Structure 1
Amino acid sequence: MVNPSKITEGGVEYSLGKFDGSYVHYDFKKILIYLNAKGKLLFGKQFKIYKEDKTILLKLISYFLRDKDNCKKYGLDIEKGILLSGPVGCGKTSLMKLLRHLAPRQRPYEMIPCRNVTFSFNHLGYKTIEDYGNTKFFCFDDLGVEPPGRFYGKDLNVMGEVLLSRYELYLETRKRLKTHATTNLNAEELEERYGNRVRSRMRELFNLIAFEKSSRDKRE
């Protein structure tokens, strides 16, 4: 029988808690040890988990492990995706790349830079909206700072259209579709960038988890 409380990385077995045969009792400290080790494998020896990110990590870990009690405590809806916001360099992209490894039995999501979506639209046109407005699970990285979309002289707010398409699918699939995103922008800036209609759909698509504005740039 597979023990869901264990994950093996690089020949080393990590425990995430205790499995009683039907339920895993997760241990946050053990999970952090695993994430620190996995982060070093993914991003290099300089990677580390920062103490000031503990609250953010608790929320993200609770969400990705589908811990209903903690999610309720933090006001997170397991059916929605995650919108992780915070200043440049605070570690949003790294965390979203890392945390998809925490629950390997769940359907994985693909990390897609928003600028790539726009570049694809500028080259291929409206097929891009179909390609990303589908039933795959995505995390759109750096939402809101992508360049404008233009195809044959016609301008389009590409990511706004992609999010509207994914919202429609989210409803059609009875909320089984997952869309995640990272952004440097706050709610007002997102509304200014995409308009009120997209912003209201984003509220229904995403749980907002935000770093403090004062979070340091970890790339320095």
Structure 2
Amino acid sequence: MVNPSKIDEGGVQYSIGQFDGKTVTYDFNKILIYLDAKGKLLFGKEFKIYDDDHRVIFKLCNYFIKDEEMCAKNGIDPNKGILLTGPVGCGKTSLMRLLRHIVPLQRPYQVIPARNIVFGFNHIGYKIIEDYGDGQFYCFDDLGVEPIGRHYGKNCNVMGEVLLSRYDLFLKANLKTHATTNLSAQELEDMYGNRVRSRMRQLFNLVAFDENTNDKRK
């Protein structure tokens, strides 16, 4: 039997809780130890988990392990995706790349920079929007700072169209979408318009870093 409370990384087995054969009782402190180790493997030995980020990480962990009680306390709907916001360099992308590893039995999502999708549109056109309206799970990284798409002389707000497609998938098949952004709610509305912003409220749980969080890349 697979034990989802044990994860092997780099020849070391990490325990992130207790498994009774049916359910896992997770231990946040043990999860932090695992995330620190996995982060160093993914991003290099300089990676570290900062104490100031524990609040955000705790919310995200409860979401990914599907702790319904703690999600309810934090106003998180486990059926929606995550929109992780915060200032440049606070670690949003790293966390979204990292946290999917604490639930190895769950279906993984791909982290895709929003600008790459726009570049794809510029090259092959509207097929790229269809491609991301498929049955896969995605996390769109750096949402809202990508350029406007342009294909054969026609402009297109590519990510706005992709989000509308993802919203339709959410309604039809409860297919989750995640994203990270540096922008505020008003800036997102300015970028995508009121209709898309309204859909985003239904697609995403908003989880935010403090606006004064330091740039960890400096």
Q: TM-score range by the shorter chain?
A: over 0.9
| Structure 1 position 21, deviation (Å) | 2.1
Counterpart of 2:84 in structure 1 is 84
State the secondary structure of the residue aligned to 1:181: strand
Matching of residue 67 in structure 1 with residue 67 in structure 2: yes
TM-score under structure 2 length normalisation: 0.99
Q: What residue in structure 1 maps to residue 183 of structure 2?
A: 185
- Give me the whole-angstrom Cα distance separating, in 2, the residues matched to 1:26 and 1:107: 19
- In structure 2, the residue corresponding to 1:128 is in which secondary structure? helix
**Alpha-carbon distance in 1 for matches of 2:68, 2:33:** 22
Structure 2 CA distance, aligned partners of 1:128 and 1:23? Answer: 40
Q: Is 1:54 matched up with 2:54? A: yes
Which range is displaced more, 54-63 or 1-10? 1-10
CA distance in 1, matches of 2:23, 2:165: 36
Matched-pair identity in %: 69
Counterpart in 1 of 2:94? 94
Structure 2: unaligned runs, 5 residues or longer? none
Q: Which residue in the other structure is 1:143 paired with?
A: 143
Shift of 1:84: 0.3
Distance 2:15 2:168 in 1: 39
Q: Residue 66 of structure 2 aligns to a residue in which SS? A: coil
Q: Distance in 2 between matches of 1:148 and 1:113?
A: 14
Question: CA offsets per residue over residues 28-87 of structure 1, 9 Å max, x none?
Answer: 000000000000000000000000001100000000111111111111111100000000
Gaps of at least 5 residues in structure 1 are none
Q: What is the CA–CA distance in structure 2 between the aligned matches of 1:115 and 1:19, rounded to whole Å?
A: 41
Report the alpha carbon displacement of residue 4 of structure 1 after superposing the two structures with TM: 1.3
CA contact (8 A) 2:4 2:104 kept: no
Superposed CA offset, 1:86-126 (max 9, x none): 00000000000001111010000001000000000011000
Q: Which residue is 2:13 aligned to?
A: 13
Matched-pair contact (CA < 8 Å) for 2:5–2:19: yes
Whole-angstrom distance in 1 between the partners of 2:12 and 2:98: 17
Separation in structure 2 between the aligned mates of residue 164 and residue 2 of structure 1, nearest angstrom:
38
Rounded to whole Å, the distance in 2 between the matches of 1:21 and 1:145 is: 45
State the TM-score, normalized to the length of structure 1.
Answer: 0.98
Q: Which residue of 2 aligns with 1:200?
A: 198
- Tell me the residue number matched to 1:109: 109
| C-alpha distance in structure 2 between counterparts of 1:157 and 1:44, whole Å | 35
Q: Distance in 2 between matches of 1:5 and 1:116?
A: 35
Q: Number of residue pairs matched? A: 218
Cα offsets for 1:141-191 (capped at 9, x unmatched): 000000110111111100000000010111111x1x110000000100000
Q: Which residue of 2 aligns with 1:121?
A: 121
How much is the aligned-residue C-alpha RMSD, in angstroms? 0.6
Matched residue, 1:22: 22
3-state secondary structure, aligned to 2:191: helix
One of 208, 211, 214 as aligned partner of 2:212: 214
Partners of 2:160 and 2:172 in 1: CA distance: 19
Would the aligned equivalents of 2:71 and 2:78 in 1 still touch at CA under 8 Å?
yes
Instruction: Give the match's secondary structure for 2:82.
Output: strand
User: Residue 90 of structure 1: SS of its match in structure 2?
Assistant: coil
Is 1:159 the counterpart of 2:176 in the alignment? Answer: no
